[in-house]
């Protein structure tokens, strides 16, 4: 029984998630980017390429977000989650 407890403790520690720690400024920048992305209704990309064997290629992609979220709500949720996980460090 005495040997099972340390093994169990190591197993639990191995399964505990570790989170990236960041400064408040980095957290604000990351959450702002997430908020901007969540608020977008339309997004897209275009690719143009040339291959010596197959010739030219063109790619287009359009994304439509049918449920955009308010920026403020997404930003606040992101910051609260980072703070709750202890990911924001005041001085870095």
What is the arithmetic mean of pLDDT over 47-51?
88
Asked whether residue 27 carries a pLDDT value surpassing 80, the answer given is yes
Q: pLDDT exceeding 90 applies to what percent of the chain?
A: 38
State pLDDT tens for residues 57-76.
989 888 887 888 899 999 99
The predicted model scores a pTM of 0.59
Check residue 28 and give its pLDDT.
95
Residue 82 has pLDDT above 90, yes or no: yes
Strand duo 42-51 + 22-23: pairing: unpaired
Residue 68's alpha-carbon distances to 51, 61, 62, 80, 84, in angstroms, are: 38, 19, 15, 20, 25
């Amino acid at each position: 029984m005495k040997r099972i407890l340390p093994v169990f403790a190591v197993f639990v520690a191995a399964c505990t998630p570790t989170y990236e720690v960041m400064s408040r400024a980095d957290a604000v920048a990351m959450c702002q980017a997430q908020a901007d992305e969540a608020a977008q209704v339309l997004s897209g990309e275009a690719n143009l390429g040339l291959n010596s064997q197959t010739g030219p290629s063109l790619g287009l992609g359009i994304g439509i977000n049918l449920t955009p979220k308010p920026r403020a709500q997404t930003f606040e949720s992101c910051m609260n989650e980072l703070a709750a996980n202890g990911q924001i460090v005041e001085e870095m």
